[in-house]
C-alpha cells in the first residue's frame, strides 16, 4: 500500500538505486515498493542532505529513526509565514457563535492584499490544523455545551474513627469550546450527588452553557434513545432551572464523548498521580487537593500553544455563558393527592395542610415539593405555591383560595358541623365552635370537626360529651386532644375532683418552660 513504512533493507535499496540515477518507476519495479512510497523516502533523503555513503554505515535502528521521524519542512515563503501566524487566532475565533472560516478569510484578505485566495487559505488551514491536532477533534462553539461524566477509576478516603477505607466517585466536566475542566470527588453516582456536581461545575465556570451533555447515566437518563431519550425528572428540572437543554451522548458515537473522555485521562495523569501517595480523612480535604492540581492544569499552556485553557476560557467563552440562576436548585419529590372538602391538600410526610382554590375541591392534584417550596399542579397547570412548613396538623392557607371569600358555598361549612354537634349535646357544639374560631379560616378546622364528631359513633355520645368538657377545661381545641383523652380514658374522671396530669402536647410549653 502507498506511503507505508517499509523494512530498512528495502529502504537501502531505494536510496542506492536513486543515487545511481534510477527513476522512480524503475525503482518501483526493482524493489516491489509502490511508486508513492518510493517518492516519500527519496524526498526524505533529499531533506536530510546527508551523503548516502554516510547513511549506509548506520544500523537499521538509527536509519529507521532518521527516516521515519517527522519530515523536515522547507522554509516557507514570507506570505505563508504570515498566514500561519494568523491561524492560532482563527482556531480560537471559529469557536465563537456564528463565526465561519469564510468570514475569517475575508478579514485576512482585507489586511493582506497579496495574500492567499480562499481556496489556498482553506487548504493551508487544514494542513496547519492537521499538524497541530493530528486527531482532528470536533469544533464546539463558545457557550454551547458542557460535557459531564464519571471516571472509571476511583479515589479513596480513610475514616479517622474506624480506619475503614471508603471508595469515592470522581466527577468530571469540561466546556466544549475552551476545554476548561472541572473535577470533584463525590460519595456516589446517585441522582442527588450527580446534580450537585453538575451545579458545582456551573458555579466553577461562573455561568451556564446552552446544553449539558451527559453520558447515558441512570442519574440523568432513565431510558436511552437515539431520537427521544427519557430523562430523569429531577435532572430535567435541574437543566430547566438553569436554562439548559439536555443532549445525552449517543450510543456508539465516540465523538460525542471524546472531550470528556480526554478530560478523564487528564484527571488520571494530572490529579490521580499526584494524590497517589497521600491520605485523606474527609471528602472535603480530598476536594481541596483536587482543586489545587486542577487549577495548575487549567493554567498550563496547551501543547504547542502560548495560551492555557483558562486563558482561552476568559477570551472566548466566559462572556458567552448565560448568568447563573440566583437560587440554587433544590431536588423535588412528587405525590398525588386529592383536594379535601376544606380546600386543602395534605403533604403526608409532614402531615401539614396547604390550600388550593376551592374550585379544585375533589380533584386529584400533583404535589412537587423540595426543602423549601411546595408547588401544586392540576393537569400540568400550576394552581398553588406555598413555602414548605414542617409543622404537623397545621395549615398554610392563602385567603384568596377559601370559599368564605367567594359566593360559592362549599358542601362543608361551619353551620353543618355546628348543627351536627348540637344534635349530640351543647357541650360538643360549644367545643366545635371554639375549634372553628381558633383557626384563621374556618375551612382549616373542618377536618378536625369531622374527626371529633365521628367519635360519637365510635365511643358513644356520653364519652364524647365528657371528653369535650375536659378538653374545654384544658383550653385546647383540636382533634388530637380529644383523641388523647379518649385513648387514656381521662373522660372517666370526675372533673370536680382531682384532675389527672394534663396530657403532653406540642403546643403546650409545660411548667418547666418558665423555670
The pLDDT value given to residue 177: 85
The pLDDT value given to residue 442: 66
Are residues 308 and 457 both part of a single domain? no
Whole-number Å distance between alpha carbons of 234 and 224: 16
Whole-number Å distance between alpha carbons of 242 and 322: 9
C-alpha cell belonging to residue 184: 470533584
- 325 in a domain, yes or no? no
pLDDT in tens, 75-127: 556 777 777 777 777 776 776 666 778 887 788 888 887 788 888 887 877 77
C-alpha cell belonging to residue 133: 491536532
Where is 110: in which H helix or E strand?
A: helix 101-111
Are residues 259 and 297 both part of a single domain? yes
Determine contact, residues 174/147, Cβ cutoff 8 Å: yes
Are residues 383 and 475 both part of a single domain? no
Are residues 85 and 60 both part of a single domain? no
Determine contact, residues 88/305, Cβ cutoff 8 Å: yes
- 29 in a domain, yes or no? yes
Are residues 156 and 264 both part of a single domain? yes
pLDDT in tens, 62-82: 777 777 654 444 555 677 777
Determine contact, residues 449/413, Cβ cutoff 8 Å: no
**pLDDT exceeds cutoff 90 at 412:** no
Are residues 42 and 19 both part of a single domain? yes
Which is more confident, 478 or 404?
Answer: 478
**pLDDT exceeds cutoff 80 at 337:** yes
Quick check: helix, strand or coil at residue 167?
strand
Average confidence (pLDDT) over 256-270: 78
Residues 6+ apart with CB under 8 A from 211: 144, 145, 146, 244, 245, 246, 247
What sign has the CA pseudo-torsion 204, 208, 210, 211? positive
Would you place residue 131 in the very low, low, confident or very high pLDDT band (cuts 50, 70, 90)?
low
Would you place residue 411 in the very low, low, confident or very high pLDDT band (cuts 50, 70, 90)?
low
Cα of 33 vs its chain's centroid, Å: 56
Where is 41: in which H helix or E strand?
A: helix 35-48
- 139 in a domain, yes or no? no
Which is more confident, 175 or 252?
Answer: 175
C-alpha cell belonging to residue 99: 463565526
pLDDT in tens, 190-216: 888 899 999 999 999 999 999 888 876
Are residues 352 and 431 both part of a single domain? no
Backbone angles phi, psi at 352, to 5 degrees: -115, 150
pTM of the model: 0.52
- 1 in a domain, yes or no? no
- 326 in a domain, yes or no? no
Give which of 170, 190, 174 is closest to 182, Cα–Cα. Answer: 174
Are residues 192 and 278 both part of a single domain? yes
Q: How many domains does the chain have?
A: 5
- 453 in a domain, yes or no? yes
Residues 6+ apart with CB under 8 A from 93: 99, 104, 316
**pLDDT exceeds cutoff 80 at 50:** no
- 2 in a domain, yes or no? no
**pLDDT exceeds cutoff 80 at 12:** yes
Q: Compute CA distances 269 → 171, 297, 303, 503, whole Å.
A: 15, 10, 15, 66
Whole-number Å distance between alpha carbons of 479 and 395: 14
Looking up residue 268, the CATH number of its domain turns out to be 3.30.420.10
The pLDDT value given to residue 446: 82
Are residues 166 and 306 both part of a single domain? yes
Give which of 173, 155, 156, 174 is closest to 165, Cα–Cα. Answer: 156
| CB-neighbour burial class of residue 481 (10 A; exposed 0-12, middle 13-18, buried 19+) | buried
**pLDDT exceeds cutoff 80 at 362:** yes
Are residues 507 and 445 both part of a single domain? yes
Give which of 403, 375, 405 is closest to 387, Cα–Cα. Answer: 375
- 55 in a domain, yes or no? yes
Q: Of 405, 423, 452, which one is at a domain's C-terminal end?
A: 405
Q: Of 405, 437, 460, which one is at a domain's C-terminal end?
A: 405
Other beta carbons less than 10 A from residue 257's beta carbon: 19
Are residues 261 and 287 both part of a single domain? yes
Are residues 277 and 338 both part of a single domain? no
**Residue range(s) defining the domain that contains residue 370:** 333-405
Amino acid at each position: 500500500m502507498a506511503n507505508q513504512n517499509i523494512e530498512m533493507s528495502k529502504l537501502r535499496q531505494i536510496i542506492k538505486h536513486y543515487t545511481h540515477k534510477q527513476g522512480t518507476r524503475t525503482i518501483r519495479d526493482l524493489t516491489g515498493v509502490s511508486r508513492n512510497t518510493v517518492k516519500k523516502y527519496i524526498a526524505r533523503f533529499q531533506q536530510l542532505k546527508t551523503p548516502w555513503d554516510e547513511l549506509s554505515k548506520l544500523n537499521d535502528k538509527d536509519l529507521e529513526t532518521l527516516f521515519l521521524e517527522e519530515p523536515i519542512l522547507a522554509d516557507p515563503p514570507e506570505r505563508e509565514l504570515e498566514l500561519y501566524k494568523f491561524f492560532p487566532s482563527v482556531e480560537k475565533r471559529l469557536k465563537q457563535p456564528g463565526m465561519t472560516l469564510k468570514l475569517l478569510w475575508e478579514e485576512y484578505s482585507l489586511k493582506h492584499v497579496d495574500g492567499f485566495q480562499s481556496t489556498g487559505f482553506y487548504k493551508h488551514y487544514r494542513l496547519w490544523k492537521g499538524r497541530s491536532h493530528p486527531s482532528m477533534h470536533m469544533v464546539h462553539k463558545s457557550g454551547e455545551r458542557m460535557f459531564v461524566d464519571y471516571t472509571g477509576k476511583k479515589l479513596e478516603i480513610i475514616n479517622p474513627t474506624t480506619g475503614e477505607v471508603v471508595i469515592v466517585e470522581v466527577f468530571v466536566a469540561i466546556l466544549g469550546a475552551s476545554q476548561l475542566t472541572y473535577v470533584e470527588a463525590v460519595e456516589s453516582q446517585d441522582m442527588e450527588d450527580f446534580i450537585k456536581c453538575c451545579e458545582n461545575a456551573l458555579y466553577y465556570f461562573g455561568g451556564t452553557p446552552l446544553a449539558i451533555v451527559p453520558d447515558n447515566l441512570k442519574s440523568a437518563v432513565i431510558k436511552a434513545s437515539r431520537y427521544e431519550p427519557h430523562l430523569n425528572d429531577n435532572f430535567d428540572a435541574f437543566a430547566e432551572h438553569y436554562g439548559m437543554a439536555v443532549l445525552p451522548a449517543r450510543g456508539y458515537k465516540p465523538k460525542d464523548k471524546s472531550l470528556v473522555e480526554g478530560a478523564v485521562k487528564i484527571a488520571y495523569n494530572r490529579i490521580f498521580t499526584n494524590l497517589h501517595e497521600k491520605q485523606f480523612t474527609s471528602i472535603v480535604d480530598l476536594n481541596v487537593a483536587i482543586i489545587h492540581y486542577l487549577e495548575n492544569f487549567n493554567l498550563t499552556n496547551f501543547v504547542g500553544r502560548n495560551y492555557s485553557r483558562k486563558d482561552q476560557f476568559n477570551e472566548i467563552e466566559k462572556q458567552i455563558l448565560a448568568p447563573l440562576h440566583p437560587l440554587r436548585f433544590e431536588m423535588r419529590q412528587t405525590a398525588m393527592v386529592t383536594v379535601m372538602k376544606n380546600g386543602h391538600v395534605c403533604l403526608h410526610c409532614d402531615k401539614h395542610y396547604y390550600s388550593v382554590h376551592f374550585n379544585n375541591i375533589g380533584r386529584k392534584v400533583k404535589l412537587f415539593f423540595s426543602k423549601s417550596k411546595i408547588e401544586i399542579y392540576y393537569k400540568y397547570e400550576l394552581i398553588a405555591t406555598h413555602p414548605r412548613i414542617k409543622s404537623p396538623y397545621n395549615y398554610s392557607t392563602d385567603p384568596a383560595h377559601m370559599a368564605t371569600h367567594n359566593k360559592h358555598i362549599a358542601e362543608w361549612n361551619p353551620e353543618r358541623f355546628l348543627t351536627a354537634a348540637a344534635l349530640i349535646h351543647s357541650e360538643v357544639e360549644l367545643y366545635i365552635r371554639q375549634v372553628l374560631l381558633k383557626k384563621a379560616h374556618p375551612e382549616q378546622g373542618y377536618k378536625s370537626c369531622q374527626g371529633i364528631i365521628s367519635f360519637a359513633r365510635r365511643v358513644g355520645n356520653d364519652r364524647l360529651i365528657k371528653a369535650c368538657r375536659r378538653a374545654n377545661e384544658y383550653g385546647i381545641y383540636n382533634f388530637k386532644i380529644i383523641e388523647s383523652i379518649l385513648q387514656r380514658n381521662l373522660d372517666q374522671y370526675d372533673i370536680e375532683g382531682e384532675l389527672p396530669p394534663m396530657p403532653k402536647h406540642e403546643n403546650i410549653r409545660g411548667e418547666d418552660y418558665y423555670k
